[in-house]
Amino acid sequence: METGEYGRTMAKEAPRRVAEAEDGTGGGASPAHAGRYPQRRVALALLAAGLLAGGAALVLWAGARDPYLADGDPHTGTYRPGRHAGDAAAAALLAGPYRERPGPPVPVSADHGSPAPLPASRPLQATPAAPSAPVGALFSPGDDGDDPGHHCTASVVHSPAGDLVATAAHCVHDGGFRTRLVFVPGLRDGIAPYGLWVPTRIDVDPRWIADRDPDRDLAFLRVRRAGRPTDGRTVEEVTGAEQIRFDAPTGRPALLTGYPEDRDTPLACRHTADAESGTQLRFACPGFPNGTSGGPMLIDVDPATGTGSLIGVIGGLDEGGDDATSYSSRLGKDLAALYRRATS
């Protein structure tokens, strides 16, 4: 998740493009994480120092090229990563501190009708929570396991093919599409209990690419199993999935979850998802730090499974908000069209 200082004060970066082809390899340093403001504060400080030093640092900044970004198709907002990039990213993650080990069985709903509304957290603060199988951390690892930290959060959402993950657009497209992404659902203490999953396709709204429109800060990733050989099941068959609901009413009790970048267990808070505007949701609960961007905002949560209906992800206004308040683009007709395109 990012704060207003991240979203509002960073000068627009010069375009950076990947040297690898759409099915290529890539290499070099890990991309700047889409966490919150500290990284961009540092960038601004370095830029200012460069200007004071006669502009040398500015020249270096402008000439830097991120090897893990690709253009994709900016007109449709679609990128199809090659197999090598995903497999290399998963291998790099496993070369670091993370391991695959079988996790607990995914709970099944007792199907006792509509769940009771969630009580608000007391105190009203994000606190450590048990992992939920469909919710996980989103990584952008470099080569050989260097800088293996996760920079965002994502969640499995129901789709006809059973292979869809939702996150914030700013987690996957920042001057270009991130080419090395790994989704680890149910991550806990360095263990990937439900496997490592990498994108075969990424979809964002073209208006996000054009001007980072905060009302379109949503992305869908179609994923496949990486790392260990797959048994043929889709991610939804392995973890279960959140439903996705468009044009949901505001003011409903909701659950917000995200993985901080400095820990391998999630934080969660229960409160109401209120209308900030006609195109934005507001969730006023403090304590969602770097790395929680893309985390799911759920209503109608089933207490037996922990799954519910996704009505937003941490992002949107100021690319997520600040420490006190999280935002989300409201899932209206334009983002429903993005879902249809991603699942077509």
Tens digits of residue pLDDT in 121-134: 999 999 999 999 99
pLDDT, position 287: 95
pLDDT, position 23: 43
Q: Which residues of the chain are modeled with pLDDT < 70? A: 1-65, 110-114, 143-148, 227-230
pTM of the model: 0.83
pLDDT, position 68: 85
Q: Where are the alpha helices (DSSP H) in 101-222?
A: 169-172, 206-211
CA distance 306 to 242: 9
Determine which helix (DSSP H) or strand (DSSP E) holds 237, and give its type and residue range. Answer: helix 235-239
pLDDT, position 111: 64
Q: Which residues contact 187 (CB under 8 A, 6 or more apart)?
A: 131, 136, 137, 150, 193, 259, 264, 265
pLDDT, position 141: 86
Tell me which residue of 155, 152, 186 sits closest to 172, measured CA to CA. Answer: 152
Each residue's pLDDT tens digit, 203-245: 999 999 999 999 999 999 999 999 666 678 999 999 999 999 9
Each residue's pLDDT tens digit, 284-312: 999 999 899 999 999 999 988 889 999 99
List Cα–Cα distances, 173 to 16, 170, 186, 222, 296, in angstroms.
11, 5, 23, 15, 18
Please name the amino acid found at residue 36. Answer: R
CA distance 228 to 165: 20
CA distance 31 to 301: 35
pLDDT, position 30: 37
pLDDT, position 117: 74
